[in-house]
Structure 1
Amino acid sequence: MAPAGQSCESWLTQADARVYQRDFQRQPITVMEGYGQDTELAGCAVPCKMVGGGPGQPAEGTPLYDAHFGPAAGAAPGTGLSVVRNMESMSNYPGLAVERARYDGYDIVMTTRLDSDVPASYLSWAEYLVMKPLVPKEADVVAFISNCGAKSFRLQALEALSANFTVHSYGRCLHNVDTRDPKADVLRRYKFTLAFENSQELDYITEKYIQALEAGSVPIVIGATNIADYEVAPNSMLVLESMEDIPAVAARMQQLLRNKTAYDEMLAWKEIGPQDKFLALLDLSVVHSSCSLCIQLATRIRTAEEAAQQLQRQPPCSCRRAPGGAVVHHLLVRERGRFESRDVFLDGGNLTVAGLHAAINQAFGRAGQVPIWQSHRPDFKGGAREIGKFNTLIKLRIYRVYQVGQTQRAALYGEASLDTDLKVAGIVSGNPCAKLEVVFV
């Protein structure tokens, strides 16, 4: 119970408070890139500096760097954890596979895979105006493919579709048309874009797919084996998993070319906006991957300090309102992309998904929380608008809640999401002062 005259919420806020040795304002997270200029990441949720030069002398009692890009083997003293960062496919670079990178001694993995420690995605609100308005179409199918020796079957697919449709191929493969116009302008003129990747593997999505979305050209996709996870809206793309799919996809394309209403339905999302699961992926880009790396490092440092403190003192983390009364659980919840947490209090008699969401919304709403993506997204309801002109306060809507430290694959698509009452009760009851992360859409 809380002391007389003090609420459980007030007492727990004080009793569970931590004092950390590392003050990131005075000692920012520092990562050695080993090339380029020193850069301070403005706007990052945790003070962070990327250092271009080589290792220097460590400060007394501390490493000079928290991490460095490169393998652990042969790294200079004081360079911290080893990080691998690469956005190429693992079919072409097997060493990028998360399990292989761990075996090779890397502490942190940054790739296009959502099960890497820090996903580095090609999807971006800033680089691609996904809600750009539609323009009238002038032709049927377009392709920009220049690597004719890719490991996927994209060249064979290009040849097969070219036998059924007039495909304007601007790349080196089956090249038949030239242009001086920017690629983004060219794509907008076509009803279909062949978004063919050079590899077929989990989460491998490059600019080819999102450029088609930006252009308002229905993508025909060869690429990620889980491409359905990246669908901007239901019925918005056609997928080729193998050459056996060519007849069915070609037949569907013919139907859509004959039926304008059916074709327009595939682009209806341009008016109403993407579905939530796509927003949850695209919103990852509002925090630069380098900043996400710094948040990851700072979180690890804080977690280590907390573990050491708990050997000396275990914070209460829960409080009974009165003898025989309800128990209040203290949770620490942060929005994905941010570092600091907010105090959230959950009644022990309501350890449910609805109860957790209500408690989070109450705590974040009272604090006037602005979603991290608010200044990055266009306005869907008012039609396509340029990034950065969106100032209307958005009502918070929870998409996922999960424990801090989970990968985005586990959080968005796996068992880490606290999406059942049983999971909520288990995490809250079994983890004093549970640290959670929330994704708002």
Structure 2
Amino acid sequence: MDNLYSCRCGLSCLWTKSSVLADKPDALLFETTTPPFQSVASSVPYWLWPISVSASVIELRSENFCISTSGHFLYYDRYVLHGQRRDGDPLRVYMDLEAGRKRSGYEDIFISYHAKDDVQSTYAGALFHNNRNYHLSSIKNNDTLVYWSSSRCLPQRNQLGKKLLSLLPHHSFGKCLNNVGGQDRALSLYPECVKDPNEAPKWWDHLHCAMSHYKFVLAIENTMTDSYVTEKLFYALDSGAVPIYFGAPNVWDFVPPHSIIDGTQFSSMEQLASYIKSLANDPVAYAEYHAWRRCGVLGNYGKTRAASLDTLPCRLCEAVSRRNGRDAKT
């Protein structure tokens, strides 16, 4: 995401890990750790490319210096963060996209997936699935109806998946409830999904392509939390399948109308399985679940994509600008 962004109203936003490019930042983003509650000196090394794309090199330990190697630069910086933000310090931004999101109490701006948060970031954007093979099959399997892939075998999700999938013809490609003879079997079934024949395949490379061969994709969230709608659902929509969804109670605030099957609205797994089989054998009824695609990205789904990680840099910079950045008073 490191880049110089041209945002609305003439605002320019430099998003970078480099303290060389932004020696006086207006905000500091904490993504994997909360802002400090006491004064701390933080030392961070970076590889810096001429195009200003940087990546952290945590293993390195050294004194302040710069070294040029084949056009790349190693920079090592030390930054002091105070326990309480002082006038002239950068604003502190904390991002937590996990289901149990919680403010740290030490941030000025909080980013998460809920619309009530200071800045919302949904899972609907393309940055959650860059570098995929987006070949989509125009032919759906008629015998094997459901695709599922899960490698984090949470008991609740496994139990739910096992119950439903036992009633439906399906392929399960992950570690959990695998029934295709092992992981990474998707490319054996669908060789057209190979992204690069010269590289070892990674499961995420061909995810959308493999999904596209199935009429339905089972999407079960890690937890049933309000507004926690993750890439599990959006992958299925993007692949041209109909998601069978178990997750956020307010899921319809995030998706196109009549685009998913909300599994929680059925009285039993048997009733849900019967509906899926009936739908699979009714071309007209099945096509109605794809009618929204003719209209484009509109309504709630349009708002969801507009608030995704793709647009976060500008939206965060706008929020920082409204607070006057490092000139904000404590």
Normalising by the smaller structure, the TM-score range is 0.5 to 0.7
Q: Distance in 2 between matches of 1:283 and 1:106?
A: 24
Question: 1:268: which partner in 2?
Answer: 291
Per-residue CA shift, 1:280-339, capped at 9, x if unaligned?
22123485312211110101229x99xxxxxxxxxxxxxxxxxxxxxxxxxxxxxxxxxx
Is 1:214 matched with 2:238? Answer: yes
Q: Distance in 2 between matches of 1:243 and 1:155?
A: 19
Question: 2:57: which partner in 1?
Answer: none
Aligned pairs for 1:158-307 (under 5 A) are 158-177=161-180, 178-180=185-187, 181=193, 182-233=206-257, 235-241=258-264, 245-285=268-308, 288-301=311-324
> Would the aligned equivalents of 1:84 and 1:110 in 2 still touch at CA under 8 Å?
yes
Aligned pairs for 1:74-89 (under 5 A) are 74=38, 75-76=81-82, 78-89=88-99
Residue 254 of structure 1: CA displacement?
A: 2.0
Per-residue CA shift, 1:138-170, capped at 9, x if unaligned?
1301101111026xx321121111221112000
> Would the aligned equivalents of 1:148 and 1:155 in 2 still touch at CA under 8 Å?
yes
Does the C-alpha gap of structure 1 residues 105 and 242 become closer, same or farther in structure 2, counting only changes over 3 Å? farther
> Would the aligned equivalents of 1:72 and 1:106 in 2 still touch at CA under 8 Å?
no
The percent of aligned pairs where both chains have the same amino acid is: 26
Is 1:52 matched with 2:76? Answer: no
Gaps of at least 5 residues in structure 1 are 1-36, 59-63, 91-95, 306-441
Question: 2:58: which partner in 1?
Answer: none
Q: Distance in 2 between matches of 1:72 and 1:265?
A: 51
TM-score (ref. length: structure 2) = 0.66
Aligned pairs for 1:415-434 (under 5 A) are none
Does the C-alpha gap of structure 1 residues 225 and 51 become closer, same or farther in structure 2, counting only changes over 3 Å? same
Per-residue CA shift, 1:60-93, capped at 9, x if unaligned?
xxxx332223415232365322211132221xxx
| Larger gyration radius, structure 1 or structure 2 | 1
Question: 1:42: which partner in 2?
Answer: 5
Question: 2:37: which partner in 1?
Answer: 73
Residue 114 of structure 1: CA displacement?
A: 1.7
* Structure 2 letter corresponding to 1:179: A
Residue 109 of structure 1: CA displacement?
A: 0.8
Q: Distance in 2 between matches of 1:111 and 1:237?
A: 24
Per-residue CA shift, 1:208-245, capped at 9, x if unaligned?
11111111111001122211112212x22111339954
Question: 2:41: which partner in 1?
Answer: none
TM-score (ref. length: structure 1) = 0.51
> Would the aligned equivalents of 1:161 and 1:167 in 2 still touch at CA under 8 Å?
no
Question: 2:45: which partner in 1?
Answer: none
Moved more, 43-52 or 135-144: 43-52
Residue 57 of structure 1: CA displacement?
A: 12
* Structure 2 letter corresponding to 1:259: D
Gaps of at least 5 residues in structure 2 are 39-80, 188-192, 194-205
DSSP-derived class of the 1:69 partner: strand
Q: Distance in 2 between matches of 1:56 and 1:267?
A: 46
Does the C-alpha gap of structure 1 residues 265 and 118 become closer, same or farther in structure 2, counting only changes over 3 Å? same
Question: 1:113: which partner in 2?
Answer: 114
Q: Distance in 2 between matches of 1:47 and 1:57?
A: 13
Q: Distance in 2 between matches of 1:274 and 1:47?
A: 27
> Would the aligned equivalents of 1:192 and 1:218 in 2 still touch at CA under 8 Å?
yes
Q: Distance in 2 between matches of 1:183 and 1:162?
A: 19
Instruction: Considering Cα pairs closer than 8 Å and 6+ residues apart, tell me whether 1 or 2 has the greater RCO.
Output: 2
> Would the aligned equivalents of 1:72 and 1:81 in 2 still touch at CA under 8 Å?
no
Does the C-alpha gap of structure 1 residues 55 and 80 become closer, same or farther in structure 2, counting only changes over 3 Å? farther
Does the C-alpha gap of structure 1 residues 147 and 239 become closer, same or farther in structure 2, counting only changes over 3 Å? same
Question: 1:389: which partner in 2?
Answer: none
Per-residue CA shift, 1:105-136, capped at 9, x if unaligned?
2221111122111112221257589x997712
